[in-house]
A and B are shown apart, each in its own frame.
Chain A
Amino acid sequence: MAYLIRGANVVDPQVGLNEICDVLVEGDKIAQVGKDLDATDATVIDGAGKYLVPGLVDMHVHFRDPGFEYKETITTGSRAAVHGGFTDVATMPNTSPVTDSGSEIRYQIEQAQMANLCHVRPMGALTAEQKGESLAEIGDMVAEGASAFSDDGHGVQSAGMMRTCMEYVSQFDRVVCAHCEVESLTTNGVINEGRASTRLGMFGWPALGEELEIMRDIELARITGCDFHVCHISTARGLEYVRRAKAEGLPVTCEVTPHHLFLCEDDITDAYNTNLKMNPPLRTSADAAAMREGLLDGSIDCVVTDHAPHAAHEKDCEWEIAYFGCVGLETSLPLMLANMVLPGKMSWERMVEVMAINPRRILRLDPVRLEAGSSADLTLIDPQMVVHVTPEYLQCKSKNSSFLGLTLKGCACDVFVDGRHVLVDGKVVEA
């Protein structure tokens, strides 16, 4: 199949593009980028008024497969990813069984190939069964295609074990991604410690619980030389530690979620909306402002969703016993567009860096560039298309979005994965 995307504003800072061009896709590759291209056999897609960018990557999702298929499967998750404009996702290893061996990595990749929608780049566990006690088969997983390593869901509590993990991973060209949480400080914590915990009468999850472990792991990166990536950073001080580490030239990166960018603890009212319960918790409005600033100034490398599907009965209950997390794949780009890009706070180029270029680099994926010969993993964005965030809009299996009820302007209308047109005018193509 060949496609000619005509007249879109093509944005790719890797090749210095931000102008109206035509892009010709042939097979699984970009064949040509230029003005007034002609291809008689190609299906023409009108890109006028739209933006074409390298396929977006979400390097932090939970697809619950295997083990919790009632929440999400690789197929339903892939559909949500494509619907949200993503060509690649990195799945976290807290499945059941835990993704801690090569065969589990292979399972996910095979499932994704059967779904035939987006690229799934599984992350492997750092420690066996994510117990924080002994190393997982990291080399085996690298060989099977693991994109990075993480015990996401909780931090590796023992500093000694984390040092061992980072030393071991340093032999491979892979990053250690850490959910930073000192559990002895966050015991029973379900909401940010401070005003929110006082107001709503629940145990606090202090910022310190996150910051202390960021600090520790930065120091471990220093002595092990292992590339270290902070998952879903949420506090201003934690970000300051990352900023300083970067200034020192340490191999440290970090990511932020839309909910930590655009929501804060004040949004949790006495209605106890459990779709706002996440880990780490929503922080103060000052923290959220610091996250937005960090994303603009380069301190934060990428935007991820921490897409965490949970069934209705796991959320429709009292806050303290509700599961942590919210889905995010289908609201991430619309939120970034509506809050950052379209109001002019963030350039299109920066958006492409944090949502496509940087996560590919951190996951050690081949870059996707808008030039001839590159993989045809592309996202076409319509800044006029309106999204009503309703359960019907969400293609993922669970509907626990923090943003239900919102109307947002701007979203992905078309997605190409390896040259396959998987999102057509906002609709996911059934495989």
Chain B
Amino acid sequence: MENMGPKATIMDDVAMRRAVTRIAHEILEHNEGAQGLGLVGIVSRGVPIARILSNEIADIEGTRPPVGQLDISFYRDDIGRSIAPVLHATNIPFDVNRRDIVLVDDVLYTGRTVRSALDALMDIGRPRTVQLAVMVDRGHRELPIRADYVGKNVPSSHAEDIRVHIKGTDGDNSVTIWDKTHNKKEA
């Protein structure tokens, strides 16, 4: 049963724009420019965030890092519980070998998705470095994984859901917190 609405809005459109701008600057600073950079969004909400980041970097630096999408369905450690009803094929239209890859996702939670994404990425090629950018880090890690770039740290409980909405994909830009009403998978 769907509940009535979010408990709170953690980030609005303005806050998210600011966060993207900041992350773009941090990525450029850390990698000393956009040369040799590649953004890989994790299906599904990591992909539009990766695109926004790529636009932001292009605005700042004048060089647009290429964007790819990574479907981790076949790399999940929980097959047998559920399988993705819709598969978005992995599509990385550039060579990941010797590139600095920034994995992009909306929420970092247990770390299992990132673990799967790392495996999937390594099967495709051998990047020079792999970094991680997320819009929200909600804690509760189950694996030794941390994000290099975080939009906002949001302390949360297991009983809560964090939902990231991206303009053009699902309404307006926002990050909201909800009471869990059904078993939603780690984002």
A and B touch in the complex (CB under 8 A): no
Residues of B at the A interface (CB closer than 8 Å) are: none
Residues of A within 8 A of B (CB): none
